[in-house]
Amino acid sequence: SGELKFPLLKVAAPELVGGLSGQSEERIRELFEEAVALAPCILFIDEVDAITPNRETAQREMERRIVAQLLSSMDELANNEKGDQVLVIGATNRPDSLDPALRRAGRFDREVCLGIPDRESRLSILQTLCHSLRLTPDLQLSEVAMMTPGYVGADLKSLVTESAMAAVNRLFKTLRVPDTKTSPAEVVQTTSSTSGETSNATALIVPNEDAGQEATKKSEDSDKKPDNPEGATTEVEEMEVQLVPLDNE
């Protein structure tokens, strides 16, 4: 659809199955009506075998009605002026289980078998999957394609995804950040010091000379003042100090 620049209408066949009588048929009709409204477009039905079993071996009447509705909707495209602009594609892993009427001319009349991709196809798939990833210069996708015989598209996609996650895990292990489970408050609460260390640090507090003289003067003046009456406020003077760091022994 990207190369043709047509809108793609994609649906998984099991999503069309409803629990109420007639609901499945209504969903199929609405799906084809939407496709005609978007024409030209591509209608892709994945796992089409889920709604198109052989009617001769179908266990329930609902299954037969769903197949009949799908056949009717596909036939109506030929009678619609825009019907020839709708390309209907069905995908299945069980082509032998389809109702034979679906494989007649005018319906799914062209069948394309998609086998396991060869090495060149795997390389093309890997290039598409990795086009937005940052790869190391020594990584050769051709070697990866050679090492993955039997892989289909889904397997290669899973391989690329798991490899990307492994690279992310290695990055976090290399750029490991400190453990942040302990909050700063908990760090402070768990920090302790001995009384000797506290005494040594306190002894090395050196008063600022100017601030000390000012504090002494304020203290002398306060001695001359009478005691404050009850309820009066008392001003507390601040004294600037200089901290001298302890020498490491």
**Does 16 lie in the same domain as 97?**
yes
Average pLDDT for residues 57-79, to the nearest whole number?
85
Residue-wise pLDDT for 216-232, tens only, equals 454 455 555 555 555 44
Asked whether 7 and 52 are in contact (CB, 8 A), the reply is no
Judged against a pLDDT cut of 50, whether residue 208 lies above it is answered with no
Report the phi/psi class of residue 46: left, alpha or beta, with left for phi > 0 and alpha for psi in -120 to 50. Answer: beta
Residue-wise pLDDT for 69-126, tens only, equals 999 998 888 888 887 788 999 999 888 888 888 888 888 888 888 889 999 999 999 9
For β-strands 41-46 and 8-12, DSSP reports them as parallel
**Does 96 lie in the same domain as 37?**
yes
Rounded Cα distance between 145 and 139, Å, is: 12
- Assigned domain for 109 exists: no
What is the span of the domain harbouring residue 152?
119-174
State both tokens at 129.
């999957």
Which of 157, 174, 191 is the last residue before a domain boundary? 174
CATH code: domain of residue 40: 3.40.50.300
- Assigned domain for 203 exists: no
Give the global pTM.
Answer: 0.55
- Is residue 52 exposed (0-12), middle (13-18) or buried (19+ Cβ within 10 Å)? buried
Judged against a pLDDT cut of 90, whether residue 157 lies above it is answered with yes
Judged against a pLDDT cut of 50, whether residue 155 lies above it is answered with yes
- Assigned domain for 242 exists: no
Judged against a pLDDT cut of 90, whether residue 132 lies above it is answered with no
**Does 17 lie in the same domain as 84?**
yes
- Assigned domain for 97 exists: yes
**Does 28 lie in the same domain as 60?**
yes
CA 140 to centroid of chain Cα atoms: 27
Average pLDDT, rounded, for the chain: 75
